[in-house]
Amino acid sequence: MKLKTTLLLILLVANAAFAENISKPAAPSSGLSGKSLNTNIPSSTNLDTSLPDLGDVSQTVLTPQDEQYIGDQIMREVAVSNEVLQDAEVTDYLQSLGNRLAAASPDKQQKFTFFVVQDNSINAFAMPGGVIGVHTGLMLANNSESELASVLGHEIGHVTQRHLARMLAQQKTDTFKNIAGIALALLISRANPELATGALTTASAASVQRQLDYTREHEREADRVGLRILDNAGFDARAMPAFFTTLQRGTRFTDGAAPSFLRTHPLNAERIADVSNRVETMPYKQVADSLEFNLIKAKLRASGGLAQGAIDQFEDNIKERRFASETAEHYGLALALLRKNDLAGAINQVTWLQINAQQNAFIENLIARLEVARNNPQAAASQYAKGLALFPNHRSLIYGYAEHFLTINQPDKAIKLVQDKQALYPDDAYFYTILAKAYHAKNKKLLHFQAQGEAYFRQYNLKRAIEQMEFATKAKDGNFYQQSIVDARLKELRRLQENEKLVEERLS
């Protein structure tokens, strides 16, 4: 689905403010180290946690309610964007990692939503409402899980310190109506660089961009807050200066072509030294990467570029024993072979995993997907049931099993499965989409429209949610109880829409 044209030009101005974008391709898989990194968890008592006193003038410009409204508008576009990676395993991993860090942040009340952009550039960006985007290129470029956590911690620091609101207050700008659209020019600029260039030539865009540039003080504050978050969450604090050094080395000879963020806020030796000095006296302690971190990286590598190229890289790495995790390398090879429809080769890799790897939800889901690809519905159903018995909360397994029931025309089983699992993921739009499909198969019109409306609501699209609920109220096949629920929900959605209009008017 195309991104809304009205957002594209507006959102491009946010690139300099929110995107820590290093324009270079992701590190190739052959560069993975064959050794585990020696890491340590520093004591928080050794950290200098003092921060610049920048005041809280942000309260006079954007309230937390305003920022949440903006965040919801961002997520509405994210939910339907082709540039956002729609992979529950990758998203859930990133969200889990982000939640762990957010729990260690100064603001325990702030809600964070993380999403993944399918793009090879090394990029992460924070936006109002606790929305944080991470490019696949950045996830691949990190040498350890602690390095990835350090980037997320830095971005969380920007959010908890409310840097955007502070900048708006200092500029006393009246561009809130534009700011309310902040999400996806960052995404469209990846898909259409010419559009991005054209948008930034406008006088208004250039003006807003200058107003939204992070200051050096903001960057130092985000570094310090991020370092404290990293330490409190149990990660290796030394990973932050290590990743900074990697970025500096990668852009040393491309400063002239660096994006505007790096030109106005350079990643210089002083910034690296400041963070390095803070971790210098911390006691050494090794922190191992999780298996999920390595599996996610393998999955991203398997899905990028040509399938045969990925296969060749995985096979070479296994042969030369160049890997951080042998399990992840075989897992990635199986995915790449499955992608190429080499089912026999994928079966061989799955067999290796079943013999040599510990049980893992990612591997169980891979086996089920392989049975689906082999057109073996009974084996697929058995595998999904087995996988969910072992890992009952794994979203991809739930998705796959429910989709399997729809495929074999057993909507009642799909409905029961989703309803049993919905409490785990109450904000998951796709669960309601599955329900809508199942009710449609049963010719249950009221329940179909109701479920579709709830799906749109969870995609932050109130207008379409209300439309579906209106259809549900006009359906004639619901009982009194079902009709009462739909009527009450429609009233609630209309009230939320009115509140949204009030916030939008205030921001205008």
498 part of the active site = no
Please answer whether residues 483 and 506 qualify as being in contact, where contact means their C-beta atoms are separated by less than 8 angstroms: no
CA atoms within 13 A on the CB side of 326: 10
Amino acid at 338: L
- Please choose, from the candidates 214, 166, 208, 200, the residue with its C-alpha nearest in 3D space to the C-alpha of residue 18: 214
Radius of gyration of the chain (CA): 24
Burial of 320 (0-12, 13-18, 19+ CB in 10 A): exposed
Would you say 244 and 295 are in contact if contact means Cβ atoms under 8 Å apart?
A: no
Question: How far is it, in rounded angstroms, from Cα 61 to Cα 82?
Answer: 33
DSSP string computed for 93-148 = HHHHHHHHHHTTSS-SS---EEEEE--SSB-EEEEGGGEEEEEHHHHHH-SSHHHH
Select from 228, 238, 241, 243 the least CA-distant residue to 124: 243
Active-site hit among 67, 147, 223, 364: 223
Distance (Å, whole) CA 388 – CA 461: 31
Token pair for residue 496?
Answer: 């939320």
> Cα separation of 88 and 11, whole Å?
26
Total number of residues shown for the chain: 508
148 vs 69, 152, 238, 289, 295, CA distance in Å? 28, 7, 12, 11, 14
Task: Determine the angle formed by the axes of helices 88-102 and 395-407, rounding to 10 degrees.
Answer: 150
Give how far Cα 21 sits from Cα of 52, 251, 301, Å: 25, 11, 20
Active site residue 155: yes
Which is catalytic among the residues 89, 119, 155, 236? Answer: 155
Q: Which residues are catalytic?
A: 155, 223
